Amino acid sequence: MYDGLPVVTLVATIFLFLTISRYHELTALKAAGVSLYRVSLPILGLAILTSIGAGLFQELLVPTLNERGEELDRVKIRGQLPRHLQLQTRIWLRSSDSRFFRVELLDPITQDMHGVTILEIDKNFRLLNRLDGRDRPLDARRVGVPGRGLPRDWPVGRILTVPFLRTALELPETIQDFTEVQKPVSAMSFVRAPRVHPTAPGERPPGEEVPVELYGKLAFPLAHLVMVLVAIPSRCSPRAAGRLAGIGIAIGILAGYLVVHYSALAFARADLLPPLLAAWTANIVFVGLGVSLLLRART
């Protein structure tokens, strides 16, 4: 319902102005000295209120509803384990500015980790040392690395490799740091989203945000106002056609908006557009189009 609300706003606006144009109510208003801009003010005001309400709904309810819905589908319908109890693979954890962990396999039930790699970097992001451990049971008080492995130090100009059968490191990380499941962006509010780090297989190491989705959360509620701005001048002519044409215009506007929006996101993911600009491109383009058409319409 939330994702489809801009479509409802668009169709409702088109049908409203289609109706008052067909029965010459808009002509009567203009003859009485009421301009198209004045007629449009209540609709634009309602669109602004809808955008504000959609933004609040997105921040307060959508994350919780998405999270509960995903858990219900996973556990009750598919019969799988909850996400926090499932095996996790290829985990990245950035525990500080200078330390990264990478884990090939984590079993939250048995609390075993396999294929542990610890990377230490300096302030210039140059690798200082690397420790590779085969497997490691978690410890509630500290992170140890028992099992065979190789610590490697990178002093200037050479690499030192020292094999070991068992070792333990005093580190501040706890079990929760490794077993905590990062929520998807859809299950987070805009305030929480900046702390999202990609941890899925094949993605970049943690420490990087998800900017396109983040800015999209801020831009999406304004799509309701954008749809109204474009819909008003498209249906305010007294020669406006019937409902079928109105549906066709609604589909055309929506298709154009989606094409521009997803094309901009694709450019952003290819590093051809800044993420902020990509998330707002469709809104900017269609606000300009709507204002231009509204200014050129007979008032």
∠ CA 246-256-268, rounded to 5°: 160
In tens, the pLDDT along 142-171 reads 444 434 444 555 555 566 666 766 666 666
Phi-psi region of 200 (alpha: psi -120 to 50; beta: other; left: phi over 0): beta
The token pair at 145 is 């690395």
Phi-psi region of 115 (alpha: psi -120 to 50; beta: other; left: phi over 0): left
Question: CA of 98: how far to CAs of 74, 93, 95, 122, in Å?
Answer: 36, 11, 8, 6
Identify each DSSP E strand in 95-212 by its residue range: 99-107, 112-121, 127-137, 144-153, 160-161, 164-168
The pLDDT, as a whole number, for residue 205 is 42
Task: Compare 21 and 177 and report the one with higher pLDDT.
Answer: 21
Classify residue 236 by its DSSP letter. Answer: -
Split at pLDDT 50, 70, 90, the class of 208 is: very low
Q: Residue 265's closest CA among 282, 278, 281?
A: 278
